[in-house]
Structure 1
């Protein structure tokens, strides 16, 4: 197994630097079930940020990309189920992807509710806004 950095995924997806895009494509296409590529949680979160901010991908486009990548059997995601859950919520708007990954991780270990000062995140079921009456 090898590990993939954010910039490899971004070059593969965006294709803005042809030489690097070609190298990234060759690397990803060479992955197999026996010799897969690992994508860490931080790489996933950073990739979403890069696609959203500098490249102006829509939430819909980003969710589509995540769904496509998590379906590739030769890619091992550190938190595949959490990525899928966060991508589904991200598509609908609201909190940023990193916050949705935090919520998905909490739910995975049955830690509920998630307490937060983030008013946008607190609108998602399973969260409690700190500073609200009774918190």
Structure 2
């Protein structure tokens, strides 16, 4: 199994760089499979989300849909996919972004009684303002 960095995923999704996108596509579509998947960390998912929203101006609903696709793709094995699915489910119906929702989800998984933040937008993710 090989690990995949954010830029590989972004090049594949956006097809915005002719050479790198072609290389990423070849890797993902011809070299990865259900028996030989590419590993994607939760950090990579957060970075992909951030890049797509901040740099490519995609709406949150589009980003959620893309991340759900990544989680469902047989060529990928996502770290703690169960937590990522939970965060996406909550994120889709809340005003918060994926990263804040994932933080709250992971903290809940580790039995935190609450998650504190200074970010007013993160309150909808299950966090509380300090």
> Fold-level match, TM-score > 0.5?
yes
Shift of 1:26: 1.1
Shift of 1:118: 2.4
Q: 2:87, 2:98 within 8 Å by CA — same for their partners in 1? A: yes
Q: Could you state the TM-score of these two structures normalised by the residue count of structure 1?
A: 0.85
Give the total of aligned pairs. Answer: 129
Identify unmatched segments of 5+ residues in structure 2.
none
Change (3 A) 1:123 1:48: closer
Shift of 1:93: 4.3
Change (3 A) 1:128 1:93: closer
Shift of 1:73: 2.4
1:31-65 superposed Cα distances (whole Å, 9 cap, x missing partner): 12221100011111111111001101111110110
What's the Cα RMSD here?
1.6
Q: 2:64, 2:92 within 8 Å by CA — same for their partners in 1? A: yes
Counterpart residue number, 1:12 = 12
1:68-96 superposed Cα distances (whole Å, 9 cap, x missing partner): 11011231111212222222233334223
Identify unmatched segments of 5+ residues in structure 1.
131-135
Counterpart residue number, 1:69 = 70
The structure carrying a bigger helix percent of its residues is: 2
| Alignment partners' CA distance in 1, 2:28 and 2:111 | 34
